[in-house]
Chain A
Amino acid sequence: MTIVFYLIQQLVNAVSIGSLYALMAVGLAMVFGILRLINFAHGDLMMVAAYFAAFALFAKLPLPLAILLMIAGTVLVGLLVERVGYRSIRGAPDVAALLTSFAVGQILQNGTLLATRLMQRPIQIAFPSPALLNGVVAFGSITVPRLNVVSLVTGVILLVLLSLFVTRTDLGLSMRAAAEDLPAAQLMGIDINRVIATAFAIGSGLAAVAGLLFAVQAGQINPYMGFTPVLKAFIAAVIGGFGSIAGAVVGGYALGALEVLLTAIPGIGDILPPGMVSPGVQAFLKQWLPGSLTSYRDAFVFVVLILTLLFRPNGILGQRGREEMQ
């Protein structure tokens, strides 16, 4: 039975981490779909959100108000970045835009560094996790961290709301039109600036929620915490099919599953109950899948990214031609 519980627990882990990646990847995909811009500063927006939340909680604000302030602050920063930074380089070549987003990220990181210094805080801050997100939830004899349940539920709710917005509202329709063909959408009288600002606002809001959940999970925050998540979100978006919102969601959950597999499979020889597989197989598993392989997880994830780019450049859901990649 233990093995069944183990599998269920890992499944919950996969879905909850997948929700976080999906929340992040959606923001990247919306902006990329419209502007062909890989916005690497997206991870830094997440970091900024974590700081907003931390300082709101330090000020002993109630949790809902803190979350509201965090989202509002992050959306504001996201809109500012778009207005001041990205609008000026619209139409620039791919790589120039990508590099600009790195520079924007540097500014956000060092701006946060500067702000924490001025407030006489250390670089690394212990995150004041709200009690609601701590502890575990027990379902029968299966216990799951409450954070994972919250991530899963929040992720699913927000993604459903987003899909309603994109399919059922005029602004959502304009956004899809702009992603399909920007100049044509413009000719049809769609206010492109409004659409792009909306994409940035929604992306920043989702990144803010993901930032809070990441910060609770990590227990501490620092100005550079956004780098790895944005890379992962990017991988998620590519695996799913870059530029499409549905692809980003699928990719997010696929990446969550992949990561949990890469964490769970090494060392499996040690946790299998005796008698489940023959001793020969168990010895083989212990020798070739030692638990120490887990530390290579990120390397494997990037190998998957590179393989996807090479063999299925349009991702799981993508249909468009290959030439875009090459």
Chain B
Amino acid sequence: MKTATLRRAAGPLAAMVALSVGLALLQFSGLAFWQGLVVNLGIFLILVLSLNLSNGFTGVFSLGHIGFMALGAYGAAILTLPLREKQEYLPNLPRWLAGVHFDFRLGPFSLGFLAATLIAALLVALVALVVGLVLMRLSGHFVAVATLGFLVIVRVLLFNADSFTRGSRTFSNVTPYTNLWWVWAWALVTLYVVWRLKRSPFGRAMLAQREDRWAAQSVGIAVMPPRLLAFVVSAFFTAVAGSLYAHFITSISPTAFYFDLTFKVITMLVVGGMGSVSGSVIGTVLVIALAEGLRRVEDVTLLYGISQIILAVIFILIIIFRREGLLGQREIPLDRLFVKGGEAKAE
């Protein structure tokens, strides 16, 4: 019994060790470009995984998640902004917020950043609960458009709440806390939570009501609780990604969090396969690699726009010829890597 558990844990553990070694090598190599790319990869991985949890598992297709990301980014950035800059940049902050600066450290760990991210993400999860209670009743493309409406509303609020966000002016001088370790630690947490959820009764309820709502209801599976759970948890992690992004880029403005970013994340999700956790990882890596390669082609040929066109064409081709994405619903069974008999021992 015990050895079976160990064997099952061996695969993911091996992958984690390999990842850590890779990250450590990258950290000490000092290759700033590649470090930046891998940080970016991690942030997008969190975005895609959490979008998959909501859109892929429950089939309730949200186009508004980047709104949660924006709220997370601004929320955490306000909390970690040093006091002097707060006075200078955001002179109209309410008093209870103006004196707040999350800066405590424990050795090399900036606990303040962690706390700010958690607080921002929890608040966003609360927002998602309220939004979800209203919008999760809809489905099909109507929920897509209603959530797109949420994205527009968030954007209007960010532009207008200038005592918090500086409005249309750039919110700069965010402390660059984000590094490889923070991003990938959060990415692994997200991966674990999403993967666990998929295999939990909640996850199965999500999939069941997605496949056939009436059949699921007729055997006693409620529709709203799993949809809401997925929406709230995924908003939480999306907000975390927002905080990581803000403390990586160090200057943010409402225009960054809009439809282009939404479409990019959706492309990764659809390429990998909605409903597959491993698919999200593969989709993210592939699209980031492709986009980076195409960007260089663009820089050389000066044909700006061509990379977006190619990505969009690939997207359409996937929807035409492989609608389920590269992996569909399937998973790469990492936990069976060291189990004798592999697939045969399926639960």
Q: Which residues of A contact B (CB under 8 A)?
A: 38, 85, 88-89, 92-100, 102-104, 106-107, 109-111, 113-114, 117, 227, 231, 234, 238, 295-296, 298-299, 302-303, 305-306, 309-310, 313, 324-326
Q: Contact at B157–A325, with CB atoms within 8 Å? A: no
- Those of B92-151 within 8 Å (CB) of chain A: 134-135, 137-142, 144-146, 148-150
Q: Which residues of A contact B303 (CB under 8 A)?
A: 114, 117
Q: Is B316 an interface residue (CB 8 A)?
A: yes
Does the CB pair A227–B140 fall under 8 Å? no
Q: How far, in Å, is B234 (CB) from chain A's closest CB? A: 16
Q: List A contacts of B139 (CB < 8 A).
A: 325-326
The 5 closest A-B pairs by CB, nearest first: A110-B305, A302-B149, A113-B305, A299-B156, A106-B312
Minimal beta-carbon separation of B60 from chain A (angstroms): 10
Residues of A within 8 A of B192 (CB): none
With A295-B160, A309-B138, A325-B140 already in contact, the answer to whether A110 and B320 are too (CB < 8 A) is no
A113-B304, A299-B156, A325-B139 known; A98 vs B144 contact (CB < 8 Å): yes
Whether the Cβ atoms of A234 and B145 lie closer than 8 Å is yes
A92 to B140, CA, bound (A): 12
Nearest residue in A to B61 (C-beta to C-beta)? A95
Indicate which residue in A38, A85, A93, A107 contacts B145 across the interface (CB closer than 8 Å).
A38
- Assess whether A302 is in contact with B152, with CB atoms less than 8 Å apart: yes
Main secondary structure of the interface of A (DSSP, over half): helix
A306-B312 contact given A95-B140, A295-B160, A299-B156, CB 8 Å threshold:
no
Find out whether the CB atom of B313 lies under 8 angstroms from the CB atom of A302. no
Whole-angstrom CA separation of A85 from B319 in the bound complex: 10
Is B21 in contact with chain A by the CB < 8 A criterion?
Answer: no
Q: Which residues of B contact A102 (CB under 8 A)?
A: 263, 266
23 inter-chain pairs at a CB distance below 8 angstroms, sorted by A residue, are A38-B141, A38-B145, A93-B323, A96-B323, A100-B319, A102-B266, A103-B316, A103-B319, A104-B316, A107-B309, A107-B313, A110-B305, A113-B304, A299-B156, A299-B157, A302-B152, A302-B153, A305-B145, A309-B138, A309-B145, A309-B146, A310-B137, A324-B140
Cβ-closest chain A residue relative to B309? A110
Chain B residues near A (Cβ < 8 Å): 61, 134-135, 137-142, 144-146, 148-150, 152-153, 156-157, 159-160, 259, 263, 266, 270, 302-306, 308-309, 311-313, 315-316, 319-320, 323
CA distance A111 to B313 in the complex (A): 12
CB distance from B66 to the nearest CB of A (A): 13
**A111 and B315 contacting across the interface, CB-CB below 8 Å:** no
B156-A296 in contact (CB<8A): yes
- Name 10 extra pairs, CB < 8 A, besides A98-B61, A100-B315, A109-B305: A94-B140, A98-B144, A107-B309, A107-B313, A110-B305, A114-B303, A298-B152, A303-B149, A306-B149, A325-B142
Q: Which residues of B lie under 8 Å from residue A107 when comparing CB positions?
A: 308-309, 312-313
A89 touches B320 (CB 8 A): yes
Chain A hits for B137, CB < 8 A: 310, 326
> Considering the chains assembled together, what is the distance between the CA atoms of A95 and B263 in angstroms?
13
Contacting residues, chain B, for A106 (C-beta < 8 A): 263, 308-309, 311-312
**Which among B153, B259, B270 is the interface contact of A227 at CB below 8 angstroms?**
B259
Measured CB to CB, the nearest residue on chain B to A303 is: B153
Across the interface, which residues of A come within 8 angstroms of B315, CB to CB? Answer: 99-100, 103
Q: Tell me the complex Cα distance, A236–B234, Å.
A: 30
Nearest CB to that of A96 among chain B residues?
B319
Shortest Cβ distance from B55 into A: residue = A95
| Residue from A95, A104, A305 in contact with B149 in the complex, judged by beta carbons closer than 8 Å | A305
CB distance from A318 to the nearest CB of B (A): 13
Contact in complex: B306, A114 (CB < 8 Å):
yes
Q: Which of the residues A94, A310, A326 comes within 8 Å of B141, measured between beta carbons? A: A94
Bound CA span A299–B156, Å: 6
Q: How far is it, in angstroms, between the C-alpha of A40 and the C-alpha of B141 when the chains are bound?
A: 12
**A97 — which chain B residues lie within 8 A by C-beta?**
141
Judging by beta carbons under 8 Å apart, are A98 and B141 in contact?
Answer: yes
Given contacts A306-B134, A309-B138, contact A111 B309 (CB under 8 A): yes
Nearest Cβ distance between residue B207 and chain A, in whole angstroms? 16
Chain B residues near A98: list those with CB within 8 A.
61, 141, 144
**Assembled-state Cα–Cα distance A111/B312 (Å):** 11
Are A231 and B148 in contact, with the CB atoms below 8 A?
A: yes
Determine the distance from Cα of A183 to Cα of B189 in the docked complex, in whole angstroms.
Answer: 48
Bound CA–CA A295/B160 (angstroms):
7
Chain A residue nearest in CB terms to B270: A99
A288 to B156 CA separation, bound complex (whole angstroms): 19
CB distance from A107 to the nearest CB of B (A): 5
CB distance from B124 to the nearest CB of A (A): 18
* List of B residues within 8 angstroms of A38 by Cβ: 141, 144-145
Bound complex: CA of A110 vs CA of B316, how far in Å?
15
Are B149 and A88 closer than 8 Å at their CB atoms?
Answer: no
Are the C-beta atoms of A306 and B135 separated by less than 8 Å?
yes
Cα distance A326–B138 in the bound complex, in angstroms: 5
In the complex, what distance in Å separates the CA atom of A296 from the CA atom of B152? 11
Q: Which residue on chain A has the smallest CB distance to residue B302?
A: A117
Closest chain-A Cβ to B16's Cβ sits at a distance in Å of 33
Docked CA distance A21–B309 (Å): 28
How many angstroms from the CA of A234 to the CA of B134 in the assembled complex?
Answer: 20
Does the CB pair A89–B319 fall under 8 Å? Answer: yes
Residues of B within 8 A of A306 (CB): 134-135, 146, 149-150
Bound together, the chains give a CA A167 to CA B96 distance in angstroms of: 64
